[in-house]
Structure 1
């Protein structure tokens, strides 16, 4: 499994923008340069775990979300996990899984 630093950087940028925090403020709060934050967000440099932890603390987000795009605390987490599992299944397996899910959803117990 390879790490896509552009995707990770994009998630960091989105989380930062969603919080209304500038690159300058994020860099200042981490005691790093603005250029370093810019490179991380563009996927031009990797980010070590210590700095990733600092970024997530400042942005009030989880490392899990930054790395995978999902969080176990989000509503869509399990849906995304199910979708990923289904991608490798044959049509016959998907049909069986659909029947099982349908019976569980329709169960009134």
Structure 2
């Protein structure tokens, strides 16, 4: 299990919502110290805590565990959706344009 990467991803999502560790801990009924330890990858978390976290942060379990779970096409699309969730339409269009440009470049390299 990639606890450090999981913790970093949790921290990023918490900060996107402008939540402090204290506020998040309060919302899911755990200690602030425990949230900090999870975010630093120092502690594992129970399934119950994992579910509380993803529900509170509005993310998916596979997004959070992407470094430990093998993704298929459907999961990959869900992950892409997660990356742009909460972005405005202009930012989403920019991501799409960048993806098109990158894929075009990869196609050129293959030719």
Which category of TM-score, normalised to the shorter sequence, fits these structures? 0.5 to 0.7
Residue in structure 2 matching 1:39, options 24, 29, 37 = 37
More helix by share: 2
Runs (5+) with no aligned partner, structure 2: 83-106
Match of 1:17 in 2: 15
- Residue by residue over 1:30-81, the C-alpha shift from the partner in whole angstroms, topping out at 9 and shown as x without a partner, is 111000000000000001111011001110111110100685424379xxxx
Q: Tell me, yes or no, if structure 1 residue 75 matches structure 2 residue 73.
A: no
State yes or no: 1:55 paired with 2:60: no
Match of 1:87 in 2: none
* Runs of at least 4 residues off by over 4 Å: none
Give, in whole Å, the separation in 1 of the partners of 2:80 and 2:7: 23
**CA displacement at 1:4 relative to structure 2:** 1.4
SS in 1 for 2:80: coil
Distance 1:75 1:39, change over 3 A: closer
TM-score by length of 2: 0.62
Distance 1:67 1:4, change over 3 A: same
